[in-house]
Amino acid sequence: MISFLSEILPVVKPVWHLSVIALNLVVVGYALSHVLLRNRDHRSAAFWAVLIAFVPFLGACFYALFGINRLRRRGAKYRHSLELAAVGEACPVNPWQTVPELKELRALSTSLGMISRFGFTVGNHVTVLRNGEEAMPAMLEAIRGAKKSVSLCSYIFEAHGIGMKFVEELVKAKDRGVEVRVLVDDAGTRYSWPPITHLLRGRGIKAKRFMPIRFVLRILTMNLRNHRKVMVVDGTTGFTGGMNIRQGNMLEADPSHPVQDMHFKVEGPVVQQLQRVFAEDWAFCSGEVLSGPLWYPTLEPAGEVAAIGVPDGPDEDLELMPKTIFAALSEARHSVRIMTPYFLPPPALIWALNLAALRGVDVKVLTPKRNNIPFVRWAARTLYPEMLEKGVKIYEADGHFDHSKFMTVDGLWSLVGSTNWDPRSLRLNFEFNLACFDDLLAQELDREFEKKVRNGTLESLAALRNATLAERLRDGFARLFMPFL
C-alpha cells in the first residue's frame, strides 16, 4: 500500500496544482471580463483590474463582494414590476416650447427633462420652512389633518423629543383609519434607543428599515443608505428637503447638538413624484405595492412653480445628481448660489464651478465652519485653492452647524432636496431632489443665502497658504479619505 501511494502521489500533486491554477484562471478571466464590460467608471475599472490580476483569486473574491452593483439590477427588477399610475407625462424634447415657465432656462429644462425619468409638472407651490420651529409643526399639522394616507421616509428618525410627537400623531392617524407607512434607513434608526421602527410596529404602524445591516450584509450594504426625506399626506401635500426628524433641529428648545436646516412643503402635481419615490422604496423593502387613488389622487394646480423630481441612487438612477448640477452650472449666466453642509465636489463639478466663474458668473458657496464631521471640513480645505484661483467665492459660516442644502441659478432656478456635495451623497446614497423653475422661490432662497453669508468668513488663498504645517498635514491626511466621506 505504501509503495502504491509513493508511486501515485507524485502524479496527483501536479494535477492538483494544475486544477487550482485552472480554476484561478477561470475566476480571474470571468472577473476581468465583468469589469471590462460592466464597470462604467474608468478609475474604478482600472483599480479592480489591477487587483484581480495581481492578487490571484482573492482579488476576484473582493470584486464579487464590493465591486458589483447588485442594487442596479435588483432596482430595475422591482421598479419595472410596479404597476403604478404614470407620474408626469413623457418629457418632450423641448419642454420649454410648451411650458412658458421654462423659456428663460430652455437648455437646462431640456437637459433635466432628459436626465430625470420623471416628467415636468406645472402649477406647483413650494413653501420654504426654516429650522425645526417651522418645519416640524407644519408636518405634524399635515398628519393631524390626514384623511386617507400618510407615507413618511427619513434617514434619521429619533425615538425621543420631537420624534415622539410624530409617533403620537402617526398612531392617532392610524387609529382613525388612515393608511400609514413609515420607512427609515437602518443606519438612521441607530441614533436613539429603542429603534423607532420597533416602537412604531409595537403601536400598530407599518414600518420598515431600509437595507438592515446584519452580519455579512453589513459589509455589502454599509455604504448604500437611503438619505431621502419625503413625506406625503393624502397624496396631495408633500414635504421634502434635508431635515431629519430629530430634537437637534428644535433650536428654541436649546438642544445639546443644535442643527440649523431647511425643509420644503410642496403642493401641486409634482407631489405624485414624491409619492412615487416613496412607493418604490417601500416596495423594495416590503414587497407591498402602493397604488390607486388612496395614494395617487388627481391633483389640481396649487401655484406657479414648474418642477421636476430628480431621484438619485446606486441603481438605475446612478449619478443623476452630478449630471443635474453640471447642467445647471453650464447654463448659469449671472449667479450661482450653493449651500451645503459637506463640500467635497468631484473633479467634474470643480471644473464646472471654475468655468462658470471664469466666464463672469458670480459663484458663491457657503459651508459650515463648525462641521459635525471635522474630517470633511479638513479635506474640503484642500480643494479650495483650485476654485479660489478661478474666482469662486467660498464662505465658511459661523454659528450652529447648518445642515441646509440648496442651489440657485440666475435667480430663476433652484434645486432643493437631500443631496450633499460629497462622494457619498453624489454616488452611494439614495437621494431625492426637486428642480424648480420659479423666480420668486429662487430669489427667496438667494435672500436666505445672503443672510447666512453675513455670518460667515470669505476664504482666501493667503489664509490657506499661511496655515500652519500641522494644519496643512492634517488637511492633506483627511483628503486621503475623501472617497469615503
Considering only the top CATH level, what class is 320-484?
alpha beta
Instruction: Return d(Cα 372, Cα 48) in angstroms, integer.
Output: 33
Domain chopping of the chain, boundaries: 2-68, 72-105+119-306, 320-484
Is there a contact between 294 and 422 (Cβ–Cβ < 8 Å)?
Answer: no
Instruction: Return d(Cα 102, Cα 171) in angstroms, integer.
Output: 42
The dihedrals phi and psi of 7, each to the nearest 5 degrees, come to -85, -35
Instruction: Return d(Cα 274, Cα 270) in angstroms, integer.
Output: 7
Write out the E strands in 45-120: none
Please state, as a whole number, how many other Cβ atoms lie within 10 Å of the Cβ of residue 360. Answer: 11
CA dihedral angle for residue 134, residue 262, residue 108, residue 447, rounded to 10 degrees? 80
Residue from 154, 108, 168 nearest 261 by CA = 154
Please state, as a whole number, how many other Cβ atoms lie within 10 Å of the Cβ of residue 11. Answer: 9
Distances from the Cα of 39 to the Cα of 67, 350, 427, 483, angstroms: 9, 23, 14, 17
Instruction: Return d(Cα 109, Cα 356) in angstroms, integer.
Output: 18
Q: Tens of pLDDT along the chain (485 residues)?
A: 555 445 544 544 556 566 666 766 776 676 677 767 766 656 566 766 777 776 776 766 766 665 565 554 444 444 555 544 444 344 444 555 666 666 778 888 888 888 988 988 999 999 999 999 999 999 999 999 999 999 999 999 999 999 999 999 999 999 999 999 999 998 888 888 888 999 999 999 999 998 776 655 545 555 678 899 999 999 999 999 999 999 999 999 999 889 999 999 999 999 999 999 999 999 988 889 998 999 999 999 999 999 999 999 876 677 889 999 999 999 999 999 999 999 999 999 999 999 999 999 999 999 999 888 888 999 999 999 999 999 999 999 988 999 999 999 999 999 999 999 998 888 888 999 999 999 999 999 999 999 999 988 999 999 999 989 998 899 888 888 777 66
Instruction: Return d(Cα 324, Cα 293) in angstroms, integer.
Output: 31
Distances from the Cα of 338 to the Cα of 23, 314, 364, 394, angstroms: 52, 24, 6, 9
pTM: 0.84
**Enclosing H/E stretch for 13:** helix 2-38
**Enclosing H/E stretch for 206:** strand 206-210
**Architecture category of domain 72-105+119-306 in CATH:** 2-Layer Sandwich (3.30)
Distances from the Cα of 84 to the Cα of 71, 299, 335, angstroms: 21, 16, 39
Residues whose CB falls within 8 Å of the CB of residue 223, separated by 6 or more in sequence, listed in order: 424, 428, 484
Distances from the Cα of 63 to the Cα of 25, 88, 252, angstroms: 15, 39, 49
Coil, strand or helix: which one is 471?
Answer: helix
**Enclosing H/E stretch for 109:** helix 106-115
Three cell numbers, residue 143: 398628519
Q: What is the residue-wise DSSP string for 249-283?
A: G-GGG--SS-EE-EEEEEESTTHHHHHHHHHHHHH
